[in-house]
């Protein structure tokens, strides 16, 4: 499930994708863009490249829509930005492609993905709308900082009271 937009059993029910998009135009996309400041500077280390990334800001963005083929919602893109990408921060993400048998490709800024030796299997769908699939973690060396950014995103919202709305695009944290 890409989005958890509620049900009769939840405090909020946003309806269907068709009901959520402007003018019920299913060719449109739904975007989520969140940015927050951390209580203290965080240092993430890429052990493979032996590089440290430092920042006190995290940004997450995603875009979800109906693909040209298929009735199910799909993540068009997702991205995590940690710190300032022009200095000691980085950005990593995934973007949907139109290439047959290659549904997604990785995106990056100030970060290098290094593929492990072995067969080059395609990257599958993200986890919900915010997580890298296991293939990314398993196929690439030094993905730790990117995965840590995603983990920090989920942990940041666990501190909210149970009744508070959480910016989770999936069915749970």
pLDDT digits (tens, 9 = 90+) for 9-59: 888 878 788 888 889 898 999 999 999 998 999 888 887 778 888 899 999
pTM over 0.75: yes
132-172 per-position pLDDT tens digit? 888 887 887 766 555 555 555 555 544 433 333 334 444 33
Question: So where are the chain's domains?
Answer: 33-156
Please give the pLDDT value at position 104.
93
Instruction: Give the chain as a DSSP string.
Output: -----B-TTSS-B---HHHHSGGG-TTS-EEEEEEEEEEEEEEEEETTTTEEEEEEEEEEEEEEE--SS-SS-EEEEEEEEES-TTTT-EEEEEEEEEETTEEEEEEEES---EEPSS--PPB-PPBTTTB--HHHHHHEET-HHHHHHHHHHHHHTTTS-TTS----SSS--
């Amino acid at each position: 499930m890409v989005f958890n937009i509620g049900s009769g059993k939840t405090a909020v029910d946003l309806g269907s994708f068709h009901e959520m998009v402007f003018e019920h135009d299913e060719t449109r996309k739904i975007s989520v863009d969140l940015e927050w400041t951390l209580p203290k500077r965080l240092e993430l280390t890429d052990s493979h490249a032996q590089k440290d990334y430092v920042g006190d800001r995290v940004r997450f963005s995603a875009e979800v829509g109906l693909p040209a083929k298929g009735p199910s919602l799909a993540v068009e893109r997702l991205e995590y930005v940690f710190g300032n990408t022009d200095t000691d921060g980085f950005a990593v993400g995934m973007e949907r492609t139109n290439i047959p048998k290659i549904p997604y490709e990785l995106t990056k800024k100030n970060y290098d993905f290094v593929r492990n030796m072995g067969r080059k299997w395609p990257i599958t769908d993200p986890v919900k709308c915010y997580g890298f699939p296991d293939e990314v973690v398993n196929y690439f060396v030094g993905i730790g900082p990117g995965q840590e950014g995603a983990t920090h995103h989920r942990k940041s919202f666990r501190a909210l009271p149970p009744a508070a709305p959480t910016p989770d695009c999936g069915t749970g944290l």
